[in-house]
Copies of this chain bind each other. A is one copy, B any other.
Amino acid sequence: MSIQRIEPGPRLSEAVIFQKTVYLAGQVADEGCGSDIYKQTQQALASIDRALALSGSDKSRLLMATIYLTNMDTFADMNRAWQEWVVPGATPARATLQSARLARPEYGVEICVIAAQN
């Protein structure tokens, strides 16, 4: 059974699809976004929208989301952007964890998603 890879790079692919299940790379804000976690979450979610579209999926088809915050005090900020974004009635299973640092020091939130193709 074949594997489809979206934007494969030397370290990672942006998305990988197998048997209609879509695994996305962890998504963060764009560079220069600033430290506001509400904004960082919005940008990470926009990147997820983009990667899901390239994968033949969309946010109504989320299966699981794992959210990493560098500071759990930003939980409410992240959740505000998250709840504005998700499709009511189509929310994924979710866990929110703390990662003292992410790949770059300016990142305060990273979101990993598994979704289903349409």
Interface residues of A (CB under 8 A from B): 1, 3, 5, 8-16, 18-21, 23-26, 61-66, 68, 72, 75, 79, 82-83, 86, 88-103, 110, 112, 114, 116
Contact = CB atoms under 8 A, between A and B. Distances in A.
Stoichiometry, copies per complex = 3
A26 B112 CA distance: 14
B91 A98 contact: no
B19 A79 contact: no
Contact of A79 (B11, B64, B96, B98): B11
A83 to B, nearest CB: 6
Contact of A16 (B16, B72, B93, B110): B93
B97 A3 contact: no
